[in-house]
Amino acid sequence: MNNTYYGKLIFELSQEGRCGYTLPKNELKEFELSALPSQLLRVNEPELPQVDELTVVRHYTNMSNNNFGVDTGFYPLGSCTMKYNPKIDEEIAAHRDFAVLHPWQPIDTVQGALAVYHGLQESLSEIAGMSEFTLNPFAGAHGELTGLMVMRSYHMSRGDDKRVKVIVPDSAHGTNPASAAVCGLEVVQVKSLPDGTVDVEDLRPLLDDTVAGMMMTNPNTLGIFEQRIAEIAALVHDCGGLMYYDGANLNPLLGRCRPGDLGFDIMHINLHKTFSTPHGGGGPGSGPVGVRQGLEQFLPNPRVTKNDEGFYDINFTDESLGSISGFLGNFGVILRAYAYILTLGCENLKMVGPLATLNANYVKESLKDCYELPIEGVCKHEFVFDGLKDKSSGVTTLDVAKRLLDYGFHAPTIYFPLLFHQALMIEPTENESRETLDGFIEVMRTIACEAHDNPDMVKGAPHHTPVRRLDDTQAALHPIVTFKELAQ
């Protein structure tokens, strides 16, 4: 990373009369746009920048140098599964035979694209132990919403309209309760035990015939496998509810365990986590939703099917919950994930979970003498420290995170889950070498020493990044969100 901050905005490079494009000559000038009634045309031209091509290239190249990605360095952001994104997947996604397809082309001209969609759908079903997947949802939270719509559609199809509650552990990602609310469901929170797992005794009295289902992440947000999952699933099923699996933490289970075999009925997968499609600064992702046998008919329109002759088709049905996307989701992301699965194959996919889990436990065991480990024992792909073990210096988790940036590492997820005040959630993926982890461990230990010896220096971190700590209170109090506002 380059420490010289590049902070200009493209608008500030604009000069009236410059231009960064060429287009073919208009051969049909006899038909002029100015013939449109003037009250239908915009009065003021949009104030977009006027810049030449090289200026655009340098501008965004310099901006990229202010950024940190997985290709830059270690990115142990808990619950985000920041894997290496194989380069070949980018080439496959840009493949001309797929990139220029219009979604409504005649069905016999898109058989290859539908084969990709169907092939990934089937691969995910096998990996997750589900009957069928839709790849239409655009992201994890969109998958949650779609999955909950499947849940409600199932109950509605049986005329059971009173099931309006969904049970969510207090340790869940914020998207779980938010998705439930968008889906018109009432959120009921179930408590966690001190070890972070669901309190089954707290769950029992919540279960009645108003419960539509329960959402769980397993391993949970502390990286702990919910050992009583079979019992929990049985309890929820006995009261007539369905079990929803949030696939945010699926990575450690690869090769070892399938949500479908744990008693889950509906689930989503984050292709940008488990199947290594690039996070792209926050998207595009993809959140395929899988269901067990008996729920397939509720999956969203359109659905891709294959007939006995091997011909693929796109179907809309009335039983479906409806459409949740314009077409078949983020197809470019689907291509990448399929390429990733084919690249690894069954023999490497099964090593993903164990190696990710080994890496997490190795880091945990190597640091638990200087960071507070609230829950002992084997974790899965991630774990949570509750800040420094020695808190006497007043150095917080935020300070530790910022100091890590000085050493060239991305920070872990901080202040989540909410169960601990100083949560520091670390997830090293299977792609990281022992040397990288040792380097991280050493720096984390150094920071613990610095916190003791020179706390003010740590509290003032970062010192070596392109910019230093930001005033986010000011940003929220007086929001300036466009160049126009900034220039005023």
Partner 1 sequence: MSYKFFPHTEGDVRAMLERCGLRSLDDLYGDIPSELQLHRDYALPEAMSEVEVRRFFDTLGSLNRTMTCFAGAGTYDHYTPSVVHDILRRSEFLTSYTPYQAEISQGTLQYIFEYQSMMAELTGMEVSNASMYDGATATAEAMMMAVAAGKKRNRVLVSAALNPMLVRVIDTYAKFHGVTVEMIEQEDGVTSRADFEKKVTQPDVAGVIVGIPNFFGIVEDYTGWADICHENKALLIMTCVASTLGVLKTPGEWGADIAVGDGQSLGIPMSFGGPGVGFLCTSKKLIRKMPGRIVGATHDMDGKRTFVLTLQAREQHIRREKATSNICSNQSLMALFVTVYMALMGKKGLREVNEMGYSGAHYLADRLVKSGKFTLAYPDKPFLNEFVVRTDLDIDALQQECAEEGIHAGIRVGADSLLLCVTEMRTKDEIDNLVELLTH
Q: Report, in Å, the least distance between residue 392 CB and partner 1.
A: 25
Instruction: Tell me the two tokens of residue 404.
Output: 């890590």
Is residue 102 close enough to count as binding partner 1 by CB under 8 A? Answer: yes
Choose between 20 and 294: whose C-beta lies nearer to partner 1: 20
Is-contact 215 144, C-beta < 8 A?
yes
Is residue 465 close enough to count as binding partner 1 by CB under 8 A? Answer: yes
Choose between 41 and 309: whose C-beta lies nearer to partner 1: 41
Please identify, among the stretches 173-181, 202-210, 236-244, 384-392, the one whose residues bind partner 1 according to the rule CB under 8 A.
173-181
Range 374-403, binding partner 1 (CB under 8 A): 377-378, 380, 401-402
Q: Report, in Å, the least distance between residue 200 CB and partner 1.
A: 15
Is residue 77 close enough to count as binding partner 1 by CB under 8 A? Answer: yes
Say which DSSP state 407 is in: T
Please identify, among the stretches 139-147, 206-214, 290-298, 451-459, the one whose residues bind partner 1 according to the rule CB under 8 A.
139-147
For 297, counting Cβ atoms within 10 Å of its Cβ (0-12 exposed, 13-18 middle, 19+ buried), the class is: middle
Is-contact 185 211, C-beta < 8 A?
no
- The count of chain residues that interact with partner 1, using the rule CB under 8 A, is 200
Backbone torsion region of residue 415, taken as left when φ is above 0, otherwise alpha when ψ lies between -120 and 50, otherwise beta: left
Give the total residue count for the chain: 488
Please identify, among the stretches 76-84, 207-215, 290-298, 384-392, the one whose residues bind partner 1 according to the rule CB under 8 A.
76-84
The mark string for 332-371 relative to partner 1 (x by CB under 8 A, - otherwise) is xx-x---x-xxxxxxxxxxx--xx-xxx-xx--xx-----
Is-contact 201 190, C-beta < 8 A?
no
Choose between 213 and 462: whose C-beta lies nearer to partner 1: 462
Is residue 443 close enough to count as binding partner 1 by CB under 8 A? Answer: no
Is-contact 147 212, C-beta < 8 A?
no
Q: Report, in Å, the least distance between residue 292 CB and partner 1.
A: 15
Q: Report, in Å, the least distance between residue 191 CB and partner 1.
A: 15
Please identify, among the stretches 55-63, 206-214, 383-391, 450-458, the one whose residues bind partner 1 according to the rule CB under 8 A.
55-63
For 309, counting Cβ atoms within 10 Å of its Cβ (0-12 exposed, 13-18 middle, 19+ buried), the class is: exposed
Is-contact 388 368, C-beta < 8 A?
no
Question: Which residue among 199, 325, 373, 457 contacts partner 1 (CB under 8 A)?
Answer: 325
Going across the sheet that includes 242-247, the strands are 132-134, 289-291, 266-269, 242-247, 211-217, 165-169, 186-190
Choose between 443 and 452: whose C-beta lies nearer to partner 1: 443
Cα separation values, 336 from 3, 86, 130, 276, Å: 32, 9, 21, 8
Please identify, among the stretches 198-206, 226-234, 235-243, 450-458, the one whose residues bind partner 1 according to the rule CB under 8 A.
226-234
Range 15-54, binding partner 1 (CB under 8 A): 19-21, 23-24, 26-33, 36-37, 39-51, 53
Q: Report, in Å, the least distance between residue 386 CB and partner 1.
A: 19
Q: Report, in Å, the least distance between residue 264 CB and partner 1.
A: 11
For 366, counting Cβ atoms within 10 Å of its Cβ (0-12 exposed, 13-18 middle, 19+ buried), the class is: middle
Is-contact 285 330, C-beta < 8 A?
yes
Range 290-309, binding partner 1 (CB under 8 A): 300-301
Q: Distance (Å, rounded) from C-alpha 227 to C-alpha 55?
A: 57
Q: Report, in Å, the least distance between residue 446 CB and partner 1.
A: 19
Cα separation values, 73 from 76, 97, 465, Å: 10, 33, 14
Question: Which residue among 5, 234, 293, 319 contacts partner 1 (CB under 8 A)?
Answer: 5
Range 196-215, binding partner 1 (CB under 8 A): none
**Sequence-separated (6 or more) residues with CB below 8 Å from residue 331:** 98, 113, 117
Choose between 72 and 452: whose C-beta lies nearer to partner 1: 72
Q: Report, in Å, the least distance between residue 3 CB and partner 1.
A: 10
